[in-house]
């Protein structure tokens, strides 16, 4: 069998019912759509959701959706259902859902929509969905596909990156996702879900391919910026420059797949940590699955950001957060020390970047032109010094005393004019 990454033109996955190739722009309108069905029969699910490498004959696309409201109010329409391509009409399942859902949207409520799809969206649909998300900021969308549709075409890749860029979570269905669909969207007659041959293996291959496609979404740091901003030297030498806060993050799903990664920096009086938190909240991650986030940051968080990061973890208990800082920010000021202690006491890993973390950051977030990470003079020596300082700050404290101390502090960070060096 030909590997997934090789040329697969003979596969011709299908042209969806009623359409030519998506790149021809055949589904640009949102026609009136009837209501969805509640479930599909087992044979339909087993045939159309099978994540085969060669999936010929599957000309229909199925979309199993779940809508959750953030407010605890009674829904006025079903929160689960299934859409299929409308036969003999130029409308894919994605647009069928949007047309149906758009009539039921309330601007006063927040929604988290999850799609489990037999095929990932085509280019034209990704553009329509992206525009919908940009217009309706109270809607968060997570997409999990059984197979990737014409993934070798640049336009399709661009569409997936477009979705990812507007905050949609785009992923590949795992065993847990297939099982969930079987239990919630299939007339299963109480029969347990039975995975097919090479289901997990095929999912891993598709995850790798999707990661490769989405990796280009992120703007990589320039080598010079990385060396200057992430350098752990105690002082800046001539020629002098301002040290700013850069935060590089990577979000991993329950199967270890990379769901999102990127780099943010301080902007318009908003610290990088706050902008990072906004991005994570925007994704509206599935509370029934576990996620891991690794952050590499040039400066350790200020007290206000530390509090907000703890709030993020407390609100989303399925998240595990690790923070690796190149340098400690105002480490001699008591309330900044308590901020770091509060993170540590709240089960947030706080550590100093060593050579391995710098190397990992270099390889994942820097436009390194294929060069190996070389480091700089006294990197290890500076690392040991900063690590000793952090260890003294993070000495074990009683949880209740720490929380009381943190609440008593004024957590506002210094104004830019009061800082001895820029963050």
Please indicate whether residue 94 is annotated as part of the active site. yes
* Greatest mean pLDDT range, 19-23, 132-136, 226-230: 226-230
**Residue 140 clears pLDDT 60, i.e. is over it:** yes
**Domain boundaries 223-418, corresponding CATH code:** 3.40.140.10
Share of the chain above pLDDT 90, in %: 55
As given in the structure block, the two tokens for residue 16 are 């969806």
The whole-number average pLDDT for the span 40-66 is 89
**What tens digit of pLDDT does each residue of 238-288 get?**
888 999 999 999 998 887 777 778 899 998 788 999 999 998 987 778 888
The kind and range of the H/E element at 69 are: strand 62-69
Q: What is the pLDDT of residue 416?
A: 34
Residue from 9, 71, 94, 363 carrying the catalytic annotation: 94
**Closest Cα to residue 59, out of 19, 98, 28?**
19
Q: Indicate the range of 74-88, 104-118, 215-229 predicted with least confidence.
A: 74-88
**What tens digit of pLDDT does each residue of 369-411 get?**
778 899 999 999 999 999 999 999 998 654 445 555 555 554 4
The whole-number average pLDDT for the span 335-344 is 95
**Residue 32 clears pLDDT 60, i.e. is over it:** no
Q: What is the pLDDT of residue 213?
A: 85
Report angle CA 278, 361, 390 to the nearest 5 degrees. 80
> Is the domain 9-217 a CATH 3.40.140.10 member?
yes
The whole-number average pLDDT for the span 233-239 is 89
Share of the chain above pLDDT 70, in %: 81
Complete DSSP assignment for 256-302: S-EEEEEEEE-BTTB-HHHHHHHHHHHH---TTS-EEEEEEEEEPPP
Range(s) for CATH 3.40.140.10 in the chain? 9-217, 223-418
Is the model more confident about 134 or about 388? 388
DSSP strand E in 88-210: where?
A: 111-117, 139-145, 169-172
């Amino acid at each position: 069998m030909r590997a997934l990454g090789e040329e697969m033109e003979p596969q011709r996955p299908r042209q969806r019912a009623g359409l030519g190739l998506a790149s021809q722009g055949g589904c640009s309108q949102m026609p009136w759509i009837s209501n969805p069905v509640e479930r599909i029969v087992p044979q339909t699910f087993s045939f159309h959701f099978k994540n085969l490498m060669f999936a010929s004959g599957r000309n229909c696309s199925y979309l199993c959706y779940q809508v959750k409201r953030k407010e605890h109010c009674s829904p006025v329409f079903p929160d689960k259902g299934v859409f299929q391509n409308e036969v003999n009409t130029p409308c894919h399942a994605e647009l069928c859902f949007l047309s149906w859902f758009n009539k039921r949207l309330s601007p006063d409520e927040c929604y988290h929509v999850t799609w489990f799809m037999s095929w990932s969206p085509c280019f034209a649909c990704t553009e329509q969905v992206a525009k919908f998300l940009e217009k309706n900021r109270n809607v968060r969308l997570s997409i999990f596909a059984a197979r990737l549709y014409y993934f070798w075409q640049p336009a399709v890749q661009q569409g997936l990156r477009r979705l990812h860029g507007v905050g949609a979570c785009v992923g590949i269905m795992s065993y847990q996702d297939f099982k969930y669909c079987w239990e919630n969207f299939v007339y299963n007659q109480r029969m347990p879900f039975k995975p097919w041959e090479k289901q997990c293996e095929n999912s891993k291959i598709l995850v790798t391919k999707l990661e490769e496609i989405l990796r280009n979404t992120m703007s990589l740091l320039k080598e010079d910026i990385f060396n200057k901003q992430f350098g752990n030297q105690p002082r800046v030498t001539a020629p002098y420059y301002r040290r700013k806060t850069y935060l590089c993050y990577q979000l991993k799903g329950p199967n270890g797949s990379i769901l999102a990664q990127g780099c943010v920096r301080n902007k318009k009086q908003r610290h990088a940590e706050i902008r990072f938190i906004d991005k994570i909240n925007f994704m509206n991650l599935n509370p029934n699955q576990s996620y891991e986030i690794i952050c590499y940051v040039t400066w350790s968080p200020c007290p206000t950001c530390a509090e907000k990061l703890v709030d993020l973890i407390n609100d989303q208990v399925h998240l595990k957060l690790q923070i690796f800082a190149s340098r400690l920010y105002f480490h001699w000021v008591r309330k900044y020390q308590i901020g770091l202690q509060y993170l540590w006491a709240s089960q947030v890993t706080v550590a100093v970047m060593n050579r391995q973390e710098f190397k990992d950051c270099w390889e994942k977030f820097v436009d390194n032109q294929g060069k190996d990470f070389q480091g700089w003079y006294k990197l290890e020596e500076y690392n040991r010094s900063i690590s000793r300082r952090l260890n003294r700050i993070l000495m074990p404290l009683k949880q209740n005393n720490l929380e009381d101390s943190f609440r008593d502090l004024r957590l506002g960070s210094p104004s830019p004019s009061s800082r001895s060096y820029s963050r």
